[in-house]
C-alpha cells in the first residue's frame, strides 16, 4: 500500500526511524555516511511536533549515531537494540558477551584482509561484513558466516543490503521498540516504524501487532511493512511535512491565520 494512503499524521504518534537507507542513502562504506543539516533540523521539528517521542533505531552503535547527528542527542536503540538510551538520557549499554565473538571476529577479519573491497565493521558486541565494493564475494561471504555460526546458538546473522549482520539471536529492533514504548514520552502512543532492510522487519512486525504503522523505504523485495515509499528523498519530504500537517489538523475549522 502506498504512503499516500496512510492516515493523516497525529500528534499522538511515536516515531521510530532507522538511519542508513532511511534517513540517509547507503554509502560505499559506513564511515562515508554524512547526515545533512536539513535532516538534523527536520528531526528537531519532529521532536517538537511529537512531544519528543522520536527515536532512532539502528544497527550502528549509539556513540557513532551521536557523532553522525551531532549536536542532537535523541533517544536511540543502537546495535539493533542491544544498547539503548531512553528519553531521560539514561544509557543501558550492551552486555559483555565475553569471548563468544572472538573466533568469528578473527575469521572475518582474516577474510576481509584477503579480499579487497570486503570490509568488516567491528561494533564490539556485533559485527557487520560488508561486500558492497566486492559483490562477487556475496556467495563466499554468506557461506563463511553461515558456517561460523552453525555451532553458535547465541548468535545469528541477518542478510541486509550487501552486508551480513552478526548479532545476538535474542536481540532485534522490534524488542527495542517495545522497550521504549513502556516509558514516557513513548508510552500510550501509536508507534510508527520506518526502515528499509531485512534488519527492520522485526520492527515492522512489532508495530503491526501493536496496531501502528510500518513503512519500508524502497519498492523491492517482500516485507511485513504495510506501506512503501519510493526513496530516501521522498521519505524525507514526507517526514518534513508532518509538523505542518499536525498544526493544520489542530486548527479549528474556519480559523484565520494570525
Enzyme catalytic residues: 18
Q: CA–CA separation, 61 vs 80, rounded Å?
A: 9
Judge whether 52 and 187 are in contact, CB under 8 Å.
Answer: no
Q: CA–CA separation, 158 vs 168, rounded Å?
A: 11
Q: CB under 8 Å to 217, separation ≥6 — which residues?
A: 21, 22, 194, 195, 196, 228, 229, 231, 232, 235
Q: CA–CA separation, 29 vs 117, rounded Å?
A: 10
* Closest residue by Cα to residue 11 from 185, 236, 176: 185
Cis peptide before 185 (omega within 30 of 0): yes
Which residues sit opposite 15 in a β-bridge? 54, 192
Report the number of secondary-structure helices (H) and strands (E) in the chain: 7, 12
Q: Which three cell numbers stand for residue 149?
A: 555460526
* Closest residue by Cα to residue 197 from 169, 174, 217, 172: 217
Which residues sit opposite 167 in a β-bridge? 156
Amino acid at each position: 500500500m502506498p504512503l499516500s494512503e496512510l492516515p493523516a499524521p497525529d500528534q499522538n504518534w511515536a516515531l521510530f526511524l532507522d538511519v542508513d537507507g532511511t534517513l540517509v542513502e547507503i554509502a560505499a562504506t559506513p564511515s562515508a555516511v554524512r547526515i545533512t543539516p536539513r535532516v538534523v533540523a527536520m528531526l528537531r521539528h519532529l521532536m517538537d511536533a511529537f512531544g519528543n517521542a522520536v527515536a532512532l533505531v539502528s544497527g550502528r552503535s549509539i556513540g557513532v549515531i551521536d557523532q553522525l547527528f551531532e549536536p542532537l542527542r535523541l533517544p536511540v536503540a543502537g546495535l539493533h537494540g542491544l544498547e539503548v538510551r531512553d528519553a531521560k538520557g539514561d544509557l543501558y549499554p550492551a552486555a559483555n558477551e565475553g569471548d563468544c565473538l572472538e573466533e568469528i571476529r578473527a575469521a572475518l577479519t582474516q577474510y576481509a584482509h584477503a579480499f579487497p573491497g570486503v570490509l568488516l565493521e567491528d561494533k564490539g558486541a556485533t559485527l557487520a561484513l560488508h561486500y558492497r565494493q566486492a559483490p562477487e564475494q556475496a556467495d563466499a561471504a554468506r557461506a563463511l558466516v553461515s558456517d561460523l555460526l552453525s555451532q553458535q546458538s547465541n548468535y545469528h546473522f541477518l542478510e541486509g543490503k550487501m552486508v551480513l549482520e552478526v548479532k545476538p539471536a535474542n536481540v532485534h529492533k522490534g524488542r527495542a521498540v517495545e522497550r521504549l514504548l513502556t516509558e514516557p514520552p513513548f508510552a500510550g502512543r501509536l508507534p510508527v516504524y520506518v526502515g528499509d532492510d531485512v534488519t527492520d522487519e522485526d520492527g515492522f512486525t512489532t508495530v503491526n501487532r501493536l496496531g501502528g504503522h510500518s513503512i519500508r523505504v524502497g519498492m523491492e523485495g517482500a516485507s511485513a511493512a504495510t506501506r512503501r515509499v519510493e526513496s530516501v528523498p521522498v521519505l524525507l519530504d514526507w517526514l518534513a511535512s508532518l509538523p505542518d500537517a499536525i498544526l493544520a489538523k489542530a486548527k479549528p475549522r474556519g480559523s484565520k491565520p494570525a
